[in-house]
Amino acid sequence: MDWFAFWEAKAVAGNDFQATGRGLMDVPGYLYTVAEVVRLLDLRQGERLADIGCGAGLIALSLAPWLDRIHGIDISPALIERARHNLEGATNVSLQVGSLTDLPLEEACVDKLLAYSVLQYLGNEAAVAQAMREVARVLKPGGRALLAANPDPARRGAYEAVVRERADQAAAEREIALLDDLLWLSGPRLSELAATAGLTARIEPISERIWQHFYMFDLVLDKAG
């Protein structure tokens, strides 16, 4: 699957949720998502955050008033341009094209890192291991990362069942076929890969007010001080 082309096409979708692959998310679900990011990252006023897979920049826009600096990074130039439009007044947010496996950031430059719904698009375990090394590289000592919304292989059947209940069966079958191109790694396996980069992992459930909660989980990573 050419995920670069996939996200470039998504970038011209009708609204910002659709453009970032969150077409089923409503406003309360989005607000709960931001609240969970703040809670799990233990975000503090004045910190520096890397927002990887920033998409249309909605989370960065929500957090910018309280943080010193946000580095928004996405593989899609079209999404970066969409984010640039949304973040026009947020002078403390910088935007760059880049990948979680090769971050355009200096060593130990951020207090916290967010990668929302990113790992499943990396293709294989080797790429995930490289991403973990990059997370460890750019975090300051004592820093924390949230790798959010990871699909659980044990819950794939539950997700497929929900998709099949949709009225448009042709669209449902296309979405189910797309699942084969995603990387489904369990929380324990992701924790093992994080450990190889010197990071301590903790698996967290997703709030029930966020629609993906029944088949995804969050992963919190801490770097030693």
**At 39, which amino acid appears?**
R
pLDDT in tens, the chain (225 residues): 888 888 788 788 777 877 776 666 788 888 999 999 999 999 999 999 999 999 999 999 999 999 999 999 999 999 999 999 999 999 999 999 999 999 999 999 999 999 999 999 999 999 999 999 999 999 999 999 999 999 999 999 999 898 888 767 887 788 888 889 999 999 999 999 999 999 999 999 999 989 889 999 999 999 999
Report the alpha-carbon distance of residue 224 to residue 209 in Å, rounded: 32
Which residues have C-beta within 8 Å of that of residue 50, sequence separation ≥ 6? 70, 71, 73, 103, 105, 109, 110, 112, 113, 114, 138
Q: Does domain 3-152+184-223 have CATH number 3.40.50.150?
A: yes
Report the alpha-carbon distance of residue 118 to residue 33 in Å, rounded: 15
What pLDDT does 165 receive? 83
Report the alpha-carbon distance of residue 149 to residue 152 in Å, rounded: 9
Angle at CA of residue 107, ends 103 and 113, nearest 5°: 60
Contact 104, 96 (CB under 8 A): yes
Report the alpha-carbon distance of residue 120 to residue 134 in Å, rounded: 16
CA trace torsion 81, 131, 33, 27 (10° rounding): 30
State the DSSP H helix or E strand holding residue 147, giving kind and residue range, or none if neither. Answer: strand 139-151
Report the alpha-carbon distance of residue 122 to residue 101 in Å, rounded: 8
> 105-118: b or e for each residue (b if 16 or more CB lie within 10 Å)?
beeebbbbbbbbbb
What pLDDT does 221 receive? 99
What pLDDT does 11 receive? 81
What pLDDT does 193 receive? 98
What pLDDT does 177 receive? 83
Residue that is written with structure tokens 């130039």 in the block: 77
Spell out the domain ranges in the chain: 3-152+184-223
**At 38, which amino acid appears?**
V
Cα 18 to chain centroid, rounded: 15
What pLDDT does 23 receive? 62
